[in-house]
Chain A
Amino acid sequence: MKIGVFICHCGSNIAGTVDCVKVAKNAEAFPDVAYSTDNMYMCSEPGQDHIVEMVKKHDLDGVVVASCSPRMHEPTFRRAVERAGLNKYMFEMANIREHVSWIGKDKDANTNKASELVRMAVEKLRRNAPLFSKKFETIKKVLVVGAGVAGIQAALDCADAGLQVVLVEREPAIGGKMAKLDKTFPTVDCSSCILGPKMVDVSQHPNITLYTLSEVEKVSGYVGNFSVNIKRRAPYVDFSKCTGCGACMEKCPAKKTPDRFNEFMGPTTAINIPFPQAIPKKATINPQYCRKLTEGKCGICAKICPTGAINYEMKDEVITEEVGAIVAATGYDLMDWKSNYGEYGGGRYPDVITSLQYERLLSAAGPTGGHILRPSDGREPKKVAFICCVGSRDRSIGRPYCSGFCCMYTAKQAVLTKDHIPDSQSYVFYMDIRAPGKLYDEFTRRAIEEYGTEYIRGRVSAIQPDGKGQYIVRAADTLLGKPVEVAVDLVVLAVGVEGAKGSGKLAETLHISYDNFGFFLESHIKLRPVETNTAGVFLAGSCQGAKDIPSSVAQGSGAAAKVIGLLSKPKLESDPQISNVNIKRCVGCGKCVDVCPFQAITKENIRGEIKAQVIEAVCQGCGLCAATCPQGAIQLSHFTDNQILAEVNALCQC
């Protein structure tokens, strides 16, 4: 076997603390190495061309590149090796940047370690074998989980491109958080006026199937061929008969049902349509509060319904859909501020509300008909305090991150307050104003200059009721260097965001990673922001991290582009780095079947004996089975025991 070794300087990234020339020289002595060199940038076009040339010139059988992490450039070099006429798996990469040059300053030690890593790669490559991918069909259908603005955008873009779309929403109506907003920054245009048409498009698009009151329960399969179980909660209303007339809502006697859509700012009825522009505009029954369903007596809505749509016997159902790709767009929820901010009342003061609740007070479709009225006494507030960073940038409660869009909506809410109540005064307590978007800073300046909003730089220490109906907000003006206080009628908290409730469970169902705050992990924070590390699963909107509307829409379209790109290929290639069973060694114990997280191994009866069998297209090559098998009967191609032991041996010899 003839091996070529190529050591990359990565500019000064590697060469700064590693003697690359010496590493290349050392490599010449390693077994089977026929050619060894170093290069300023291996990933550059001349660098790649050099690999191709040398493979041909020296008749090489395999290539080792010592450079950066394989995450970015392994595919690059595999393509180069393929261009040179070799099998792309006759290639190994030694990571001498992240694992060597970036973490140590001692040049001699680094050079040694780099040489050792190259030696390991050479020893592994000596045992590599050409591997070949198989081609398989994909289902031209995509599942979008979550019908907020990001999910809607992703669904519409996919549907317009000709793909079938299954859109799943947990709530009775689509629109997500944006549907709850009154106006949007920085243009102060009506949220439902710009979102409404998109929602209608979703409901009318021939390629989109919408399931509301539904959640993804189970996902199996693999990229291009997922099988998804969707649990649909019973709405107790036959959607094919309901016309959305709303007569049931008027007569329903359960008038103390908590109103989720209105952020619990007022009660609603057990059967209801959340808001006038709701899609689908169908009534649903909240089974926890419906008298017929809880006590067995009532049935008024069934009597009043002109089309006989009410059906108390309806049961939850599970629908199975086959899809080729999945977009998670589950958005965010506000963090639990009540248990963390006792100094702000912890929820005991009725006139200390969240910004999302304030949004419902501002909305004409909200519980107050668009009039700002205090929850405690229904009076119009004249002085309103807005407090930023409640549950953001606060390490003491384990929330170190910035929630991103609160600065902007706070400015918007201050502007709207002045529009609604011209003789009102708003105070915004902020730590830093974060307004980096297009026209954002200009908008904040408008709130200050044109609307006379008082911006005070300081974090609020406490909110205390003065006993006369007002609240004293105690803060510091850090620019002045003095403690300040102001008595206000209403306090609005810009509460930090976290991944939507239940996002962790969904992440586990989708086999994707998530962080401590319930946000899903992208494949690469800069270069693969909508992809996940699970092939065929993509992200859109705030489920990946706090995002405003423009970014969510952009990411929705981005995820759709990725899905369209994936499913537009006639066939996908499977990764040949998968498990193989040596039938002669397998004793049929089934331990591999139990540990496989992808249900990729089955027990088959082969000539009267039970043997494990790998379903090639389903196996993701994680290697759990290989590590579990007591007989060593399952080997992971490209990472066999022999290959790994050869690497360990190489390391121990050094």
Chain B
Amino acid sequence: MDSINLEAVRDEDFLRTVEKESGQNLSRCYQCGKCTAGCPCGPAYDMQVSQVMRAIQLGDKQAVFEAASPWLCVSCSTCTARCPNEIDVARVMDTVRHMNRREGGKHPTLNAFWDSFLKTVRLSGRAYELGVMALYMLRTGKVLTDMDLAPRIMPKRKLPFVPHVIRGKAAVGRIFKRFHDLRMDG
């Protein structure tokens, strides 16, 4: 394994931006690992929460942006509740996602997934699972991903063929539009 050059890897601007946008003092983290210990998604992560926190402390933007973990985080905030140093860890994870998206999204498959997810929300007002799957497959060409799960979740009616459309669909659409316009305005 190559060693990390601590000076080369340190992106001061990245670290300060995460701190500013999340409003958290990351130097408080003393790496006790209590966030990782309580995280329900930990087993699925490629990089544990405490390791993401450590990478941010080091200013290692690339490592943070290439990690899948922030995208797999379900924002349950157990990490925040348990942190002995009162760091809102879930908010830091959220901040990292925002920053990553703003810079065009560095993770190829996860970015495609979130784009697909948001598109169905924009169209029907809430998530449409089959639509997410179809769009994701189109975007990535990964046709067989998680196909094995279908027989298990179909009988539970978790994969309806027709999207649920909510009453305030148009309003949700307007939220997306406003966000888009604001972003265009900078």
Contact = CB atoms under 8 A, between A and B. Distances in A.
A474 B38 CA distance: 7
Contact of A476 (B28, B36, B83): B36
A476 B31 CA distance: 10
A57 interface: no
B84 A476 contact: no
A578 B144 CA distance: 90
Interface in A366-397: 389, 393-397
Interface string B66-78: 0000000000001
A459 B33 contact: yes
A395 B29 CA distance: 11
A481 B36 CA distance: 8
A393 B82 CA distance: 13
Contact of A478 (B31, B42, B47): B31
A52 B186 CA distance: 73
A462 B37 CA distance: 8
A432 to B, nearest CB: 8
Contacts of A343: 38, 82
B37 A458 contact: yes
A73 B46 CA distance: 59
Interface in A457-485: 457-462, 474-478, 481-484
Query: Which of A394, A461, A482 has the largest number of chain B CB atoms within 10 A?
Result: A461
B85 A395 contact: yes
B22 interface: no
A483 B86 contact: no
A65 B43 CA distance: 67
B77 to A, nearest CB: 13
B85 A476 contact: no
A459 B79 CA distance: 12
Query: Which of B34, B35, B39, B50 has the largest number of chain A CB atoms within 10 A?
Result: B34
A316 B78 CA distance: 52
Contacts of B43: 483
Nearest to A482: B48
Contact of A396 (B30, B42, B47, B86): B86
Given A474-B38, A481-B48, A457 B33 contact: yes
B48 A483 contact: yes
Interface string B46-59: 01101100000000
Nearest to B37: A461
A581 interface: no
Query: Which of A397, A431, A460, A483 has the largest number of chain B CB atoms within 10 A?
Result: A483
A483 B84 contact: no
B60 to A, nearest CB: 14
A536 B78 CA distance: 51
B51 A481 contact: yes
A478 B36 CA distance: 8
Nearest to A483: B42
Given A393-B84, A482-B48, A483-B42, A476 B30 contact: no
B32 interface: yes
Query: Which of A431, A458, A459, A460 has the largest number of chain B CB atoms within 10 A?
Result: A459
Contact of B34 (A395, A461, A482): A461
B82 A476 contact: no
B86 A395 contact: yes
Contact of B48 (A393, A431, A476): A476
Given A476-B50, A481-B48, A459 B34 contact: yes
Contacts of B86: 395-396
A477 B139 CA distance: 37
A138 B182 CA distance: 81
Query: Which of A343, A396, A460, A462 has the largest number of chain B CB atoms within 10 A?
Result: A396
B18 to A, nearest CB: 20
Contacts of A476: 33-37, 42, 48, 50
Contacts of B37: 458-462, 474-476, 483-484
B83 A396 contact: yes
Query: Which of B30, B36, B42 has the largest number of chain A CB atoms within 10 A?
Result: B36
Contacts of A478: 31-33, 36, 50
A394 B84 contact: yes
A431 B82 contact: no
A165 to B, nearest CB: 43
A393 B30 CA distance: 10
A330 B176 CA distance: 64
A396 B28 CA distance: 12
B84 A396 contact: yes
Contacts of B39: 483
A461 B83 CA distance: 9
Contacts of A395: 28, 84-86
B32 A459 contact: yes
A396 B86 CA distance: 5
Nearest to B78: A461
A486 to B, nearest CB: 12
Contacts of A389: 32
Interface string B128-140: 0000000000000
B90 to A, nearest CB: 14
B42 to A, nearest CB: 4
Interface string B9-47: 000000000000000000010111111111100110001
Given A343-B82, A476-B48, A458 B42 contact: no
Nearest to B40: A483
A127 to B, nearest CB: 50
Nearest to A456: B33
A458 B34 contact: yes
A457 to B, nearest CB: 7
A342 B26 CA distance: 25
B51 A460 contact: no
A474 B37 CA distance: 6
Contacts of B84: 393-397, 459
A477 B31 CA distance: 11
A396 B85 CA distance: 6
B53 to A, nearest CB: 11
A461 B32 CA distance: 10
Contacts of B34: 458-461, 475-476
B48 to A, nearest CB: 5
A494 to B, nearest CB: 14
Contacts of B51: 481
A431 B37 CA distance: 13
Given A395-B85, A478-B50, A431 B30 contact: yes
Nearest to B83: A396
A460 B38 CA distance: 8
Query: Which of B28, B33, B36 has the largest number of chain A CB atoms within 10 A?
Result: B33
Given A458-B33, A461-B35, 15 more contacts: A343-B82, A396-B84, A397-B84, A431-B32, A457-B33, A459-B32, A462-B37, A476-B36, A476-B42, A478-B31, A478-B32, A481-B48, A482-B36, A483-B36, A483-B39
Interface of B: 28, 30-39, 42-43, 47-48, 50-51, 78, 82-86
Interface of A: 343, 389, 393-397, 431, 457-462, 474-478, 481-484
Q: Please provide the 3 A-B residue pairs with the shortest distance between their CB atoms, ordered closest to farther.
A: A461-B38, A461-B37, A476-B33
12 contacts: A395-B85, A395-B86, A396-B85, A397-B84, A458-B34, A459-B37, A460-B37, A474-B37, A478-B31, A481-B47, A481-B51, A483-B36
